[in-house]
Amino acid sequence: IDAQLQATKGSTSDISAYSVTRGSGATADSFYASQGRINAIFDDRNETLVGEIEKRVPDAAALEMESFHLISLAKASRGKLRAAAATIPLVSRASGKWLDADHVRPLEIAGGRAAFAALSSMTLAGALAPAELELE
């Protein structure tokens, strides 16, 4: 994950009213089994998965799948692509507690603004400065 992008997340006033947790994200390659979901219908054998992640990555703050391919692609690009991730967890695997539905939309807006502010503050190697762009 790109260190400069990671450092700027959550640093804007739009998101400051909310609790921002910095930590490692565990990213899964699928929606169901590799996220530690347990259901008798499936033979996933992942009853210990979340505990194993907590042991191996003590600062793990999220387990999701949305950023897996994006981060994998960036890692495979030999430094040509940069990636970071931010999440709005809807449920805690540890407690089973769900985020109140009334908080989702305001968090999406504040989180989106924070992500945009972080991205717009980045300086990209080889990028043209605004004055160098020709508008037609």
- pLDDT tens per residue across span 10-69: 455 556 666 677 778 787 777 666 667 777 887 778 788 888 888 999 988 878 878 888
What is the value of pTM for the model shown?
0.61
Q: Which amino acid is at 1?
A: I
Q: Which of 87, 85, 88 is nearest to 74 (CA)?
A: 85
| Distance separating the N- and C-terminal Cα atoms of the chain | 36
- Which of the four pLDDT bands, split at 50, 70 and 90, describes residue 129? low
Residue 110: Cβ-neighbour burial (10 angstroms; 0-12, 13-18, 19+): buried
Quote the tokens at residue 106.
């305001």
